Amino acid sequence: MSNHFETKAIHNQLNKTENKENSSPLYLTSSFVFDDAEEMRATFAEEKEGFIYSRFSNPNSFEFIQKMCALEGTEDGMATASGMAAVFASFMALMKSGDHLLCCASVFGSTHNIISKYLPKYGIEHSYFDVNKPETWESFFKPNTKMVYIETPTNPGVDIIDLEFLGKLCKKHNVIFNVDNCFATPYLQQPLKYGADIIIHSATKYIDGQGRVLGGCALGKKELIKEIYLFIRNTGASLSPFNAWVLSKSLETLAVRMDRHCDNAFVLAKALEKNEEIEFIKYPFLESHPQHAVAKKQMSKGGGIVTFELKGGPDSNRDERGRKFLDALQLCTLTANLGDTKTIATHPASTTHSRLSEEERLEVGITPGLIRISAGLEHHEDIVNDVVGAIEKSR
């Protein structure tokens, strides 16, 4: 088997059945049968490999995970019903009452809610650190710190965290390093190279890439994934066979799609950087990005997400101008998803991060008029013309 990313994404698949299919079949079954009582006993006892029940494992989810592990370079993995199921499982399976979670302050809204609202109910403490002040990160470690959880690039601010620097801190303090790699995908960035123990994906985004199905996964060291597997097996947040089949097929085009997403996002970012109506713009591969050097070190391209804020209108109300901008878009779609073939525009303060307080949003750079653009696969000129045209109409 080739070591090239694209080849691994295409050719890692289930063994062919007697029908000699070229594309893996769907296994739409809730359970699997055994030849005799001894085989059933041995399989349940994990003395013999085999499929038992689709809540535990299924050939389609097995193939999906085998591909993801090959692309990220991890030992093992577990597929989940959604990205948030993977996040929650990684917390609950690997931490207990009295432990401390250290997290970057710039994090997806639902993840923030789990950490701040639900983990305290189980006696798990948490602290947030500023992604822009790496000199302070080590001061947040405590004797009971069990895990560090981060996103890079972050959602929605596309801040970049130095994986190598933080990975060394985690190793020094002997804590689990848990990285959400959703925005970058394994095509642009492999956190394992920098010491990550767990890698999380919302496969709903770029892994699917066409806005069709929900899915997620946790990948990493075998002994850690074993605990996550048992948690998912017992709580039922498993990936459906159909969604697993879709996601596995989607991986075959991930590389070519990400190339186009990144190229379109970079063209859009450079065009907006020159626009006088932009208050600020952030894209990891723009030299103006605060962590540009770090992004170039650990990512092969800048990703498909661009964020910016428009200057205020006549009354300096940036929030109102942001809403006018969204309403003026013709090509871009308005939805909370990202990583689709279609270019998507979102207003994080009123959607994905609306459950955070205004103070919490401002602390992580989510200003009232912040716009997040997920560059799609359309022609780059059409994307730029739609966004620039909407900016002009929002004045």
Q: What is the pLDDT of residues 241-278, one digit of tens each?
A: 999 999 999 999 999 999 999 999 999 999 999 999 99
Q: Is residue 259 located within the same domain as residue 212?
A: no
Question: Is the confidence at residue 321, as pLDDT, over 80?
Answer: yes
Mean pLDDT in residue range 101-120: 94
Q: What is the pLDDT of residues 141-184, one digit of tens each?
A: 999 999 999 999 999 889 999 999 999 999 999 999 999 999 99
Domain count, the chain: 2
CB–CB of 91/66 below 8 Å?
A: no
Mean pLDDT in residue range 185-193: 98
**3-state class percentages of the chain: helix first, strand second, coil last, to nearest 5:** 45, 15, 40
Q: Is residue 87 located within the same domain as residue 218?
A: yes
Q: Distances from the Cα of 355 to the Cαs of 103, 108, 150, 308, 348, in angstroms?
A: 18, 11, 19, 21, 10
Q: Is residue 217 located within the same domain as residue 125?
A: yes
Confidence band of 379 (pLDDT split at 50, 70, 90): very high
Pair of tokens at residue 226: 């074993």
Q: For residue 128, give every residue at least 6 positions away whose Cβ sits within 8 Å of its Cβ, in sequence order, or none.
A: 103, 104, 105, 107
What's the CATH number where 173 sits?
3.40.640.10
Q: What is the pLDDT of residue 311?
A: 86
Distance between CA atoms of 342 and 324, rounded to whole angstroms?
20
Distance between CA atoms of 42 and 287, rounded to whole angstroms?
58
Domain boundary (210, 225, 253) is at 253
DSSP-derived letter for residue 313 is: -
CB–CB of 303/158 below 8 Å?
A: yes
Q: What is the pLDDT of residue 109?
A: 86
Tell me which residue has tokens 């560059």: 375
Q: Is residue 70 located within the same domain as residue 122?
A: yes
Q: Is residue 17 located within the same domain as residue 118?
A: yes
Longest dimension (CA), the chain: 78
Pair of tokens at residue 234: 């017992």
Q: What is the mean pLDDT of the chain?
A: 94
Q: Is residue 223 located within the same domain as residue 246?
A: yes
**Domain coverage including residue 143:** 5-253
What's the CATH number where 372 sits?
3.90.1150.10
Q: Is residue 53 located within the same domain as residue 13?
A: yes
Q: What is the pLDDT of residues 119-138, one digit of tens each?
A: 999 999 999 999 999 999 99
DSSP-derived letter for residue 114 is: I
Domain boundary (227, 253, 279) is at 253
Give the HSE-up count for residue 259: Cα atoms under 13 Å, Cβ half-sphere. 5
Q: How would you classify the pairing of strands 100-104 and 125-129?
A: parallel
Pair of tokens at residue 183: 């925005």
Give the HSE-up count for residue 230: Cα atoms under 13 Å, Cβ half-sphere. 10
Q: Is residue 162 located within the same domain as residue 261?
A: no
Q: Is residue 240 located within the same domain as residue 261?
A: no
pTM listed for this prediction = 0.94
Q: Is residue 30 located within the same domain as residue 166?
A: yes
Mean pLDDT in residue range 229-244: 97
Q: What is the pLDDT of residue 322?
A: 82
Q: Is residue 163 located within the same domain as residue 32?
A: yes
Q: Is residue 328 located within the same domain as residue 216?
A: no
Domain boundary (253, 271, 291) is at 253
